[in-house]
Amino acid sequence: MARILTGVQSTGTPHLGNLLGAVIPAIELAKSTENESFFFIADLHSLTQIKNGNALRKNTINTAAAWLACGLDTNKSVFYKQSDINEVTELAWYLNCYFPYQRLTLAHSFKDKSKNLKDINSGLFTYPLLMAADILLYDANIVPVGKDQLQHIEITRDLAIKFNKHNGDTFIIPSPMTDKKTRYIPGTDGNKMSKSKGNTIDIFLNEKNLRKQIMKIKTDSVSIEEPKDYENCNVFNLFSQVASTSEIEIMKKNYINGGFGYGDAKQLLFEKIIEFFNISREKYNFFQKNPELVISELQKGSIKAKAIAKETIERVRSKIGY
């Protein structure tokens, strides 16, 4: 039995890219009876960016509601909020003392932002060590992540090896899991969909605003009558992420035959997205109206997570010599 663990930052409401690229594949993975899964809302990591308490709480509810709406089974997976488990910050401190400062300055997450050093808080600098604590605290074997997070897993592995060498076997050495076919979901401007780029499709919006976002997708200016290049079309690409093989074939023919405008393609994409996420949208709205249910799911998960965290931290303290 492998223990799978992954965290998602709560920096907004998950968009189509987050759901298809991370949330839904993780939920699928958790369905296997051979896996034990831990999913958490990384709201301590969010604090490196968000300082408004209301926004922090709201984003946590929205992010957790999205996971629940997409079908996460909290009886099978441990689903919790990072900030409920204070052992993680204690472990992060110990790990800080085992990791060379020099190496941390080379981490991408910091280097990318270090052009504006005066805007960087120390939390952002030590971010990878809190992430290592997230993983090592729960003895995770496998950590599903996007490619941008691989360096953080490498840091985690190095830390675990170093600590074990110094103090005797303490931590499990985790492995990253990146899905080769990890979907790259383009945003409305054709670049990678991302909250920071303002190009998202927010599937939990009401139909009117969701349709507006879809109608905004950039296309070329080939006229309605002419055949169109489906392979390089964002609308087609997004459609093929949510449609069945036969629906994709029909859409291809529409593009090749001509007499079919981008407005028509966008309308079909809109209808398909509504159909694909129909149940999730309903559940999400239900959780928005009943946030206490989301909170209680997270609390239930935190109790289970806490029990494991306590055991690990006792083990670590005694190994260090406290």
Residues that bind ligand ADP (CB under 6 A): 8-9, 11, 17-18, 21-22, 146, 183-185, 192-196
- Shorter beta-carbon distance to ligand TRP: residue 7 or 25: 7
* Residue 21 interacting entry, from ligand ADP, ligand TRP, none, C-beta within 5 to 8 Å by type: ligand ADP
149 binds ligand TRP (CB under 6 A): yes
What does the per-residue mask of binding to ligand TRP show for 68-107, with x meaning CB under 6 A?
----------------------------------------
| From 13, 26, 41, 45, residue interacting with ligand TRP (rule: CB under 6 A) | 45
- Shorter beta-carbon distance to ligand ADP: residue 22 or 137: 22
- Shorter beta-carbon distance to ligand ADP: residue 103 or 183: 183
* Residue 135 interacting entry, from ligand ADP, ligand TRP, none, C-beta within 5 to 8 Å by type: ligand TRP
Tell me which stretch binds ligand TRP (CB under 6 A): 2-10, 115-123, 235-243, 271-279: 2-10
Give me the residue label for tokens 């509810």.
61
Dmax (CA) of the chain: 76
Q: Minimum distance from CB of 7 to ligand ADP (Å)? A: 9
- Shorter beta-carbon distance to ligand TRP: residue 197 or 212: 197
Specify whether the CB–CB gap between 120 and 139 falls below 8 A: no
Q: Minimum distance from CB of 257 to ligand ADP (Å)? A: 30
- Shorter beta-carbon distance to ligand ADP: residue 15 or 272: 15
| From 145, 159, 268, 294, residue interacting with ligand TRP (rule: CB under 6 A) | 145
* Residue 134 interacting entry, from ligand ADP, ligand TRP, none, C-beta within 5 to 8 Å by type: ligand TRP
* Residue 306 interacting entry, from ligand ADP, ligand TRP, none, C-beta within 5 to 8 Å by type: none
HSE, CB side, 13 Å, CA atoms: give it for residue 86. Answer: 0
Using H for helix, E for strand and C for coil, what is the string for the chain? CEEEEEEEECCCCCCHHHHHHHHHHHHHHHCCCCEEEEEEEEHHHHCCCCCCHHHHHHHHHHHHHHHHHCCCCCCCEEEEEHHHCCHHHHHHHHHHCCCCHHHHCCCHHHHCCHHHHHHCCHHHHHHHHHHHHHHHCCCCCEEECCHHHHHHHHHHHHHHHHHHHHHCCCCCCCEEECCCCCCCCECCCCCECCHHHCCCCCCCCCHHHHHHHHHCCCCCCCCCCCCCCHHHCHHHHHHHHHCCHHHHHHHHHHHHHCCCCHHHHHHHHHHHHHHHCHHHHHHHHHHHHCHHHHHHHHHHHHHHHHHHHHHHHHHHHHHHCC
Amino acid at 110: F
Q: Minimum distance from CB of 45 to ligand ADP (Å)? A: 10
* Residue 203 interacting entry, from ligand ADP, ligand TRP, none, C-beta within 5 to 8 Å by type: none
Tell me which stretch binds ligand TRP (CB under 6 A): 5-13, 179-187, 200-208, 274-282: 5-13
Q: At what angle do helices 291-320 and 150-167 cross, to 10 degrees?
A: 40
The site for ligand TRP (CB under 6 A) is made up of 5-9, 42, 45, 131, 134-135, 143, 145, 149
